[in-house]
Amino acid sequence: MTLCVIPARGGSKGVPRKNLLDVGGKPLIVWTIEHALAVPELDVVVSTDDEEIAEVARDAGARVPWLRPDELAQDTTPTEPVVRHAIEQVTAERGRPDSVMLLQATSPVRHDDTLGRALAEFATTGVDSMVGVVEQPPFIWQAGDPPTAAYDVAARPRRQDLTPEARRYRETGSLYVTRTEVYEEHDNRLGGRVGLFVMHEDEGIDIDTELDVALALRLMAAHRAV
């Protein structure tokens, strides 16, 4: 069994009550819940400390069998203890999951086949953990004295000529798939043999500001029009 954990804390500093923000006619979190529920292999659980978020999540079809304790719902709380808490609760209730898919509710743009494709790649590659990424242009610089480039400035590459090994990717934060023992042994969503799950460019949006919401709506509208 693959446990799907969607963390959704009630507090939010950037956009107040962000998980319940209306995005395209639905609360933001509902987009991610619906993505997950479309994949039969997933046991979809929302981890929240907030009664209103819990009610919205249940109405959307997710399981919310407990409310997250206050000590796991602080501004400084990392995600890993939240996932471990979910693993422990589900293990006591239904048995230990083999793996965990972590989905961030702040990433509402996903293609219809994305989550199923991620699970299939996780199974076939045999990695211990997998991180969703989008490809980035190669022209990345690191500040310093002097600044340094992540490419050879004397032989400026063309993006289309880069080998797969030379391509660079940005972690989206949208999804991770991890063997349960990695959380148990390393308290980390990534560990052991790590694989990259390459997502479509438009799936890299993360809602943190009102501008992000506007961009997400445009991307979602464009995707529906295809």
The answer to whether the beta carbons of residues 45 and 5 sit under 8 Å apart is yes
What is the residue whose two structure tokens read 């209306």?
Answer: 22
pLDDT at 225 over 70: no
Contact call for residues 165 and 72 (beta carbons, < 8 A): no
Residues 4-21: what's their mean pLDDT? 86
Of the pLDDT bands very low, low, confident and very high (cuts 50, 70, 90), residue 60 is very high
Beta strands in the chain (DSSP E): 2-7, 22-23, 26-27, 42-47, 99-103, 129-136, 141-142, 148-149, 168-179, 194-198
Pick the CATH number of 2-132+170-225 from 3.90.550.10, 1.20.1260.10, 3.50.50.60, 3.40.190.100: 3.90.550.10
Domain ranges in the chain? 2-132+170-225
Q: Is the peptide bond before 108 cis (omega within 30 degrees of 0)?
A: no
pLDDT at 138: 81
What is the C-alpha R_g of the chain? 18
The per-residue pLDDT of the chain, averaged, comes to 92
Give the model's pLDDT for residue 131: 98
Q: Active-site residue among 156, 159, 170, 193?
A: 156
For residue 219, is pLDDT > 90? no
What is the average per-residue pLDDT within 113-138?
A: 96
Predicted confidence (pLDDT) at residue 216 exceeds the cutoff of 70: yes
* Catalytic-residue membership of 218: no
Q: Give the span between the Cα atoms of 127 and 121, in whole angstroms.
A: 9
